[in-house]
Amino acid sequence: MAYAPFSFWFVTFISLTSFILLLNQSIPKHATKLGLAFGLGWFGAGISWVHVSIADFGGIPLVGSMTLMLLLSAYLALYPAMSSYLLTKYFPPKYWPLALPFIWLFIEWLRSWLLTGFPWLSLGYSQIQGPLAGWFPIMGEFGVTALVVLICCTLATDLANKKWLASSVIVATLWLSGSTLNHYQWAKPTGESAKIAMVQGNIEQVIRWTPEQDQPTMNKYKNMTADHWNNDVIIWPEAAVPQLEPIATDYLTAIDTLATQTQTGLITGIANYNFETKQAYNSLIGVGQKLQQEGSDSARGQYYYNHDNRFSKHHLLPIGEFIPFEDWIRGLAPIFDLPMSSFSRGSYQQANLQAKGYYFAPAICFEIAFPKQIAANLYHNTNFIITVSNDAWFGGSHGPAQHLEIAQVRAKEFALPVLRATNNGITAFIDHRGHIQSRLPQFKAAVLSDRVQLVNGHTPYRVVGDWPIWCVTLVMLAFAWRMKNKTNKTNKTNKQT
């Protein structure tokens, strides 16, 4: 309930504090079970939307889809279980506020890395509407997670000991400072703006990769764009062009020429398949006017097959875009043989896309949840972060709203506008402060056009990343370890005396 679309940010503090209080009152051998139970509730409810894609598009019966969702939730629940085990095994409760932030961050880092990583529903995301939001530009979502854990652990410890001073001071200090920081603008508008349109085609997932629907889909995007060539840049969502790029070159060349003649840059998602290397890439490409000074007298624009104004997705989604242990599990069930589930990985760091002189740092779908990858693709001249997605897989669930929330946090962390173009929602412009500037409703074919301010300036988080919070929490852990050993030594001496 703390995450979008509900956004009751305070629920995180109630839930996590209650969980730590239960740990405090339990015997150590039950801590892992408590952590597992907490994780099952956290992820079982939070990512229940995964069931929609498995049941509706994976070709698996309801019982099977529910089982797979529970297995995924159980896997994710192992991480809070590990945190609970390490905390209770090595530290007495009075040192938990010092020890748990580092332990929690380390385990969450593992979750974002193992098996390609799944950092969804990290605690910090729940605070984009709360008083800690001002800390995002300073320490990122990772650091805000540490602050949440510190607050909840201190609250639980004080509740257990029926004391209120430490928790009151920490809560008041962090919340008030966060609220104050939220009014500071780390990046200032330059006074210039770009007029950008995003096209939401609302193509049903069941017909998305049906060959006979290729041309109707491409015609739809072209027709929906027809009245919007007066924008500086037009953005189509992930895989908006359903044909493989080598097959769609005539269509792309026509769009490229039209965009150039109207002095417009256009960015679209498309799947590229190299017939020589037999490698496929989930890509974004730029067509039309690339540079600001280009005129309208050009017969055609920048596009030719495999031109360099492109981005290939690096962080692929397991099952959806690549099959782990493919030789073993491909063919076991329809979900393991979905269309476009054998993509190759693009480079971790790539050049920005260019459109009409503007520079866009891309993230395709799931990649927006990885701030380090976003940071690696931000350059001195980057104007916007662009993220495209096809959330039609998840129907009317709360998955797309959570996805939008993650994009808001990225905008807040890096003080850059985020442009989120999707197939069926939620398409939205997010300003450099993480606020939704304008948006389209879900499940509606429409075009969203708005002016987006250009900004100048860097946040502390963009400059230093996660290192400061790692260092601070590690020092806290070391201090807790030293104090624990000192207390044990004193107790041992007293017993001998």
Decide if 377 contacts 414 (C-beta within 8 A). Answer: no
Decide if 258 contacts 224 (C-beta within 8 A). Answer: no
* Catalytic residue chosen out of the listed positions 108, 141, 238, 321: 238
* Catalytic residue chosen out of the listed positions 141, 153, 313, 412: 313
Q: Where are the alpha helices (DSSP H) in 26-164?
A: 31-46, 50-57, 62-90, 96-111, 136-161
Selection from 350, 404, 362 nearest residue 386 by Cα = 362
Q: From residue 476, how far is each of 90, 92, 95, 151, 157 by CA, in Å?
A: 14, 15, 10, 14, 16
Residues 255, 268: Cα–Cα separation, whole Å: 11
Helix H or strand E segment including 24: helix 10-25
Phi and psi, residue 451, nearest 5° = -95, 130
| DSSP state string for 446-486 | EEEEEEEEEEE---HHHHHTTHHHHHHHHHHHHHHHHHHHH
Residues 481, 27: Cα–Cα separation, whole Å: 20
192 is catalytic: no
Residues 330, 338: Cα–Cα separation, whole Å: 10
Q: From residue 250, how far is each of 74, 236, 243, 245 by CA, in Å?
A: 48, 18, 11, 10
153 is catalytic: no
Q: From residue 30, how far is each of 22, 154, 315, 327, 337 by CA, in Å?
A: 10, 21, 37, 39, 41
* Catalytic residue chosen out of the listed positions 245, 365, 367, 413: 365
- Distance between start and end Cα atoms, the chain: 54
Residues 479, 476: Cα–Cα separation, whole Å: 5
313 is catalytic: yes
Residues 50, 69: Cα–Cα separation, whole Å: 6
Strands of the 436-439 sheet, one edge to the other: 353-355, 358-364, 384-389, 418-422, 428-430, 436-439
Q: Which residues are catalytic?
A: 238, 313, 365
